[in-house]
Chain A
Amino acid sequence: MPLITYREAVRHALAEELERDPQVVVMGEEVAQFNGAYKVTEGLLAKFGPNRIVDTPISEAGFIGMGIGASMLGVRPVMELMFWSFYSVAFDQILNNAANVRYMSGGQINCPIVIRGPANGGTNVGATHSHTPENVLANHPGIKVVVPATAYDAKGLLKSAIRDNDPVFFLENTILYGDKGEVPTEEYLIPLGLADVKRTGTDLTIVTYGRCVIHSLAAAAILEQAHAVSVEVVDLRTIRPLDINTVLKSVAKNHRVLIVEEQKPFASVGSQLAYMIQREAFDELDGPIHRLATIDAPAMYSPPVETEQLPNPHRIIKAALAAVA
């Protein structure tokens, strides 16, 4: 299988879906002429033209709302947020309009829109550009939330997201854009709501998603070699819908759990997972559920310290050892 970057995987998914369905349009700030702020959409304008690949003004409430309105008529817009952090200025459109319009209309309307872009810390851009809003988004029934960790997952999940008839919020990661992974040349789809066991192990289950999957795999290798701890890494891939069954199966096998997430701890995705695991697998647990999250403060600028604020392999190893102690 060819090795391609996460960035290319997202781009290929966009190109294939643009090719397949004339209702798909790609819109966002700098997606066309500039070739994408992170070059995800590079070359799409040349291939599909300005009617399908559309540069928007810096106007998130306006253009995201416009995409939602167009999706009610059956257009399938894929809107890029240069950073998911900018969702706050389009909050009303995303979480009042896209999330609620189906419900408030008694099921008469659906919004087949995808909003995608990076949502991560770790790039020393300070608190305003480092938000990870998957918990905030997933708190709203009516929408779906996807956080892929690898090139393979990003492509297969984005293609499913674009074909989905509900609003899907797709959270990528600027640090992962350059990471290469094996991606088949033939077409494939990954269903939303299906977790993936990225590494099997017998002593501890790490439940995680996004870039923390990569960190957890790195930590797991060291834990195996240096500490003789065998770790299973469950990558959720999708936050909502949630594949809790794969999580519970792993918990039932290993009896010890560590949740790792690039989230502020209060009311995070991990909070919900911990509740569900204790509720549905209480008797399987040999100890309390452990969690490693971002250290609870706005994102720190100072580069070496921000690395320590976020989950990283070294913090995960420490947390894993505590969880199996």
Chain B
Amino acid sequence: MSKKLTAIAENQPAATAPRPPHAQAPINARLSQEEKIELHRKMVRIRRFEERSLRAYQGKKIGGFLHLYIGQEAVAVGCCSLMGKHDHVITAYRDHGHAIAVGMDPKPLMAELYGKITGCSKGKGGSMHYFDPSRNFWGGHGIVGGQIPLGVGLAYGVKYQGHKGAAMAFMGDGAVNQGAVHEAYNLASLWKLPVVFVIENNGYSMGTSQARSSAGQLAKRAEGYDMPWGQCNGHDVYEVRACMDKFLTLARETNQPSTVEIDTYRYRGHSVADPDNTYRSKQEVEEYRKTKDPIQVFQEQLIKEGVLDEATIEKIDLEARAEADHAADFAEASPYPTPDDIQKDVYWEADHPAQRKSQGRLFFD
């Protein structure tokens, strides 16, 4: 039995749980109705975007890998909803949810999947490499754990430049075993850098369960580096916000780094290339869908609060579906880059020839 199923057995299904106290956490209690609806809307938009991108992939419109965020929406939406002007986000390759959560337009996101010049990275990055520095979103990184030192660098930059802010460095549960992550933990704690390491624990590093890959509780490893840590239920966006607010505030106010493990679940395989029939049961996935779905959980909460009704829910869903379809239409109608684009965006200097100071050949054939 996987660790995840144990977790289910220990918890009441969300549908019959009492109203969670996290709704009363100050960071949630002060949300306006519209802000609450916006949290819901973002999760729905992410899900519809992901479903639409999956259809495009199945229709052979998209190459390479596609790591879907379906099931994990409350994590990115909850965390990114807390961002201030000097807060930054960096994540791994399952990055579509974070991109939408920080406010990126789905049209260039979908176009990037299609490999079009209108993509957010002009068709040069693909699914795993979304970026939007204007929204403090620094990727979208393909190598497990490789982005975590960069996240510490963002925190270093915030502190060095005298801003009050924090970096959120997201990783999956598989990343905690990478050396670069531990080096980053040590530097952050040693130098008191304002970073929150966020472990999105979906229970599986690709097809290897947590029980088969990692010794001990993941976030607890922070203790070895003298960092506080927390754990929360990633199926409840209120809980994510309440938990993350605490650690983000700690980082912003005192430069104290921390690690937060957020329990979540992905309904789809590791990537769409994963047949998903070797390492977990259909029943396990169904159990999560039925009892812990983050959109369902929050929707029911907001109905109880009188913030959402069926008509609004349907309207939000229809709009999200339409938005995803429009994004796909936009992507479909956009041109591909040309071979002339291949050597653009390699060097800052080559892209700014008037300001170039070096000489000699930058490119070779």
Contacts and interface: CB of A to CB of B under 8 A. Distances in A.
Contacts of B141: 97
Contact of B121 (A51, A96, A104, A110): A104
A194 interface: yes
Interface in B265-319: none
Interface string B322-365: 00000000000000000000011111110110000111111110
Interface in B109-162: 119-125, 129, 131-133, 138-143, 146-154, 156-158, 160-161
A244 interface: yes
A65 B150 contact: yes
A72 B133 contact: yes
A142 B347 contact: yes
A65 B152 CA distance: 8
Given A75-B157, A93-B180, A107-B122, A192 B348 contact: no
A62 B150 contact: no
A166 B149 contact: no
B345 A192 contact: no
Interface in A18-71: 25, 51, 56-57, 59, 61-71
B157 A59 contact: no
A242 B358 CA distance: 10
B184 interface: yes
Contact of A191 (B345, B351, B357): B357
Contacts of B186: 57, 59, 62
Given A69-B157, A74-B161, A105-B129, A64 B120 contact: no
B362 A241 contact: yes
Interface in B147-194: 147-154, 156-158, 160-161, 179-180, 183-184, 186-187, 190
A166 to B, nearest CB: 5
A75 B348 contact: no
B360 A193 contact: yes
Contacts of A103: 124-125, 345-346
Interface string A150-181: 00000000001001111000000000000000
Interface residues of A, number: 56
B167 to A, nearest CB: 8
Contacts of A243: 359-361
B153 A92 contact: no
B306 to A, nearest CB: 42
B125 A105 contact: yes
Given A70-B153, A109-B131, A241 B361 contact: yes
Given A74-B157, A193-B361, 7 more contacts: A56-B187, A69-B150, A73-B161, A92-B143, A104-B125, A141-B363, A194-B359
Interface of A: 25, 51, 56-57, 59, 61-75, 92-93, 96-97, 101-110, 141-142, 144, 160, 163-166, 191-195, 238, 240-245, 272, 276
20 contacts: A61-B179, A65-B150, A68-B150, A69-B154, A69-B157, A70-B157, A75-B157, A93-B149, A96-B143, A101-B139, A106-B120, A106-B345, A108-B133, A141-B346, A141-B347, A142-B346, A144-B358, A238-B358, A241-B358, A245-B360
